[in-house]
Chain A
């Protein structure tokens, strides 16, 4: 494919704005740009074709099955996008007078009510831009909370070894020391190991439940109690909320703060990597530590307030508003009946796929899974040399996106499958057939699997070369 710069011809131009209707004013020499600005000079018809060509080489949920574990790639409803594009939302300046933005502020307060009920939390901030940003915000609140109580020794955050990489990275950004706790043979938190590491230096625990191997930790209330008894706080990583929404609430499990991945659980588009939206909910006792611009409904309408011990702001303005509009649309459409229905079917689909694959692909943490399950290709690799990467690359030949690879780190040669509730039984059956065929190929013709994919626009790429000699921009000659 040509780069847009390679389609460029000097002198091509698209007229978009009228001629200047006020007098010219010269820009002082001292501030004038010296270098030429190389941007594409391409006609509108060719721009349209360029991006259509790029779109053809982008696999989205819209194109086919996308069981990327931990990412909840469910269908993105189109009504959501239409609502977000309403001029009354999209064309609002963030610093308009309060009486001209009441509808927008109600999007915040209404979402807070709905998501607060779903998570069992009392208050929510919508400022964090993504899940990892929500983690960061919550940990700042942990820090501020302990400091407000003059409890300055609490500098350790406990994280299970199966956690998402963002957990330790977020904790580290807030200056916390990370204590890893091992998982037990069921893939859950080892209670004895947890008890051994808690103490007066425990700031809190970061946990996702169901965890990254797709198991709901049945000891959850005991786990959160151990932390609370030690004086720490419990943080719920909401990446895996999808299978339990409407069934069980983090707030009832003993968590004090939760983040949500709106773009996962609440159906907003992933956009090729973002924008996400990572609101956090907290219990009442943490309200005063929330970020600035906390919207509160009063008799005069909704107003922004500043919590008395606020941690400050983690970004400009109030969050990914248009993403939230989409989520609100989704929640209202599903309602109290549709939310648990989605969860149930996400779990049903995952178990159905697991059931039809676990005789071939080892599932190290068995039993009933939640929204996802993790398979290990370790034995297949020992037998045939075919790795998790090879299996994933073979799946690409079938117009399906592969599962998440090599995560969580506690499972060797891991493939993490999350079908989501919006996939039909036919799609699951088709995927099962493909996965089983690849298993057979691994034993009968491993060279075919090693060489996959054969029919994609490009074949496997040289990642080593890319990282050794980074070329990350086009060079104009």
Chain B
């Protein structure tokens, strides 16, 4: 008997196959492995039944708290995910396929990527998008590598970016020796005067996030004009939900649009897997990293899709490739496509608008409480920072006791977020609890 662990071979089949090979035991298959290196037994738990494993994992999951009321964003957003999204994305044909190398039997995967690329182009206003990269932060690292070259090796990065994205960019740059300089902030937004002095001829690109980490809207158009006057490339990191409603990256003048696609139907998942998207203008197409699907025809003239522009990639270009990326987040991209399809333009814009309106309602209610003031002035989308009259951690701990995940503690206050998921009742309850705690 086998162990029943996904291996179909029975003992007698194993013996039969070994005999065919002229071998007497499974161990004979490892003649090339030096005897003294062989493991006699792994020091890990013994096998368990599916039921036992289920119990263990469920126990681990139950140790975590799932908040019913979430007012925290900061890179991971709580949006509604329609039933159809999970059902379709869970289809085994999509789950268990790999990169569609064989176009003839992979049109479903290829077409879904082509549709995703189109939707990302629509959100960003760009001509070309790739099949996705790991997440928003790594997309920023890749975008930086995209713009630098032999002559220009410096990229300016807004200090109002998500701190983890800045961290990732710096880590990528540590590898590639690209010079990164942060553009200082003033009142929570880019200091445009400082940017002017930083724009020198070595600057290959400038990376700005819209809305920024504090939820504020940057003067992205004016910044873009400055960047282009300096003949540098303008990279804009956008929130896809906000992008449905506000100016597209292209309308702000961006050359490259990147972002975190998690808000598009992916659960918060304790941070991953998420979905990095990258889009650019036709001019930059061939420097875009990652997989790209293109439309073509088969020998009979039928419309067909295929992985294309592969000569950019590591498996062909090896050490001369600009990126080593090999996988993409196809299943997450598919999820996002289904989400955007189910929501449609009206539904997506409605969810985005409700996030905007509710965040503004929340800000209004919060700032009526003494000691809660907006830290930064100016327009915001669905996140904003307030002061906190008591130690922020103390407040969020109290909120947690009421099943509420409050704003994220920053050095100077709390970063709040609201989405279509937050009902007026939830917000009013939040306000009531805060009043109780802070009195």
Contact = CB atoms under 8 A, between A and B. Distances in A.
- Whether A and B touch (Cβ < 8 Å) is answered with yes
A42 B296 contact: no
B118 A5 contact: yes
Contacts of B200: none
Given A4-B115, A25-B360, A96-B67, A172 B164 contact: no
B349 A114 contact: no
Interface in B20-61: 20-21, 26, 28-34, 37-39, 41-50, 53-54, 56-61
Contacts of B103: 458, 461
B57 A86 contact: yes
A90 B269 contact: yes
B432 interface: no
A318 B168 CA distance: 12
A334 interface: yes
B49 to A, nearest CB: 8
Nearest to B177: A175
Contact of B318 (A165, A322, A339, A456): A165
Contact of A88 (B62, B104, B397): B62
Nearest to B342: A14
A144 B175 CA distance: 10
B327 A316 contact: no
Given A175-B177, A273-B330, A274-B331, A332 B296 contact: no
Interface string A379-411: 000000000000011001000011011010000
A89 B39 CA distance: 34
B125 to A, nearest CB: 6
Given A58-B106, A83-B54, A248-B38, A351 B21 contact: yes
Interface in A429-459: 453, 456-459
A378 interface: no
Interface stretch (A32-40, A191-199, A226-234): A32-40
Contact of A132 (B164, B272, B325, B330): B325
Given A83-B53, A96-B405, A133-B324, 16 more contacts: A5-B115, A14-B82, A25-B360, A38-B345, A47-B84, A56-B93, A93-B67, A117-B42, A129-B134, A168-B318, A252-B37, A271-B331, A273-B291, A333-B53, A336-B41, A425-B8
B60 A342 contact: no
B357 A22 contact: yes
A145 interface: no
B88 A312 contact: no
Interface string A245-282: 01111001100000000010001011111111100000
Contacts of B295: 466, 471-472
A148 interface: no
Nearest to B33: A248
Interface in A80-99: 81-83, 85-97
A270 B96 contact: yes
A17 B63 contact: no
Contact of B319 (A39, A171, A315, A407): A171
A165 B341 contact: no
A460 B299 contact: yes
B117 to A, nearest CB: 5
B156 to A, nearest CB: 19
A458 B400 CA distance: 55
Contact of A272 (B50, B100, B134, B341): B100
- 9 nearest A-B pairs in the assembled complex, by CB-CB distance: A317-B271, A88-B61, A271-B331, A103-B63, A335-B47, A60-B96, A312-B171, A94-B271, A58-B108
A272 B134 CA distance: 14
Nearest to A41: B344
Given A12-B344, A272-B100, A318-B272, A165 B78 contact: no
B33 A317 contact: no
A35 B248 contact: yes
B104 A275 contact: no
Contacts of B125: 35
Interface stretch (B187-195, B227-235, B239-247): B239-247
B329 interface: yes
B247 A31 contact: yes
Contact of A312 (B162, B174, B358): B174
Nearest to B422: A22
Interface string B246-259: 11100100000000
Contact of A248 (B37, B74, B177, B356): B37
Given A131-B326, A463-B306, A55 B345 contact: no
A57 interface: yes
B315 interface: yes
A54 interface: yes
Interface in B296-352: 296-300, 302, 304, 306, 308-311, 313-321, 323-332, 334, 337-338, 340-351
B154 interface: no
B6 A39 contact: no
A270 B101 CA distance: 13
Q: How large is the interface on B (under 10, 10 to 19, 20 to 34, 35 or more residues)?
A: 35 or more
B75 to A, nearest CB: 6
B384 interface: no
A347 B29 contact: yes
19 contacts: A33-B251, A34-B248, A39-B344, A44-B84, A48-B88, A54-B94, A86-B61, A88-B58, A92-B270, A129-B135, A132-B324, A169-B323, A276-B327, A317-B75, A322-B269, A339-B44, A340-B39, A470-B128, A472-B129
Interface stretch (B9-17, B201-209, B367-375): B9-17
Contact of B168 (A166, A253, A314): A314
Interface string A319-334: 1111101001101111
A248 B348 CA distance: 52
B261 to A, nearest CB: 12
A175 B95 contact: no
A349 B107 CA distance: 30
A287 interface: no
B111 A3 contact: yes
Contacts of A94: 75-76, 268-272
Interface string B107-121: 111011111011101
Nearest to A271: B331
A95 B331 contact: no
A82 to B, nearest CB: 8
B332 A275 contact: yes
A177 to B, nearest CB: 8
A140 interface: yes
Given A92-B66, A94-B76, A368-B31, A14 B343 contact: yes
B47 A1 contact: no
Contacts of B329: 271, 273-275
Interface string A102-126: 1110110010011001100000000
A381 B161 CA distance: 55
Given A47-B341, A103-B61, A474-B118, A32 B7 contact: no
Contact of B294 (A25, A101, A252, A472): A472
Contacts of B155: none
B167 A292 contact: yes
B42 A314 contact: no
A110 B176 CA distance: 34
A328 B244 contact: no
Interface string A172-200: 11110010000000000000000000000
B3 A337 contact: yes
Contact of B66 (A87, A140, A173): A87
Contact of A314 (B57, B138, B315, B427): B138
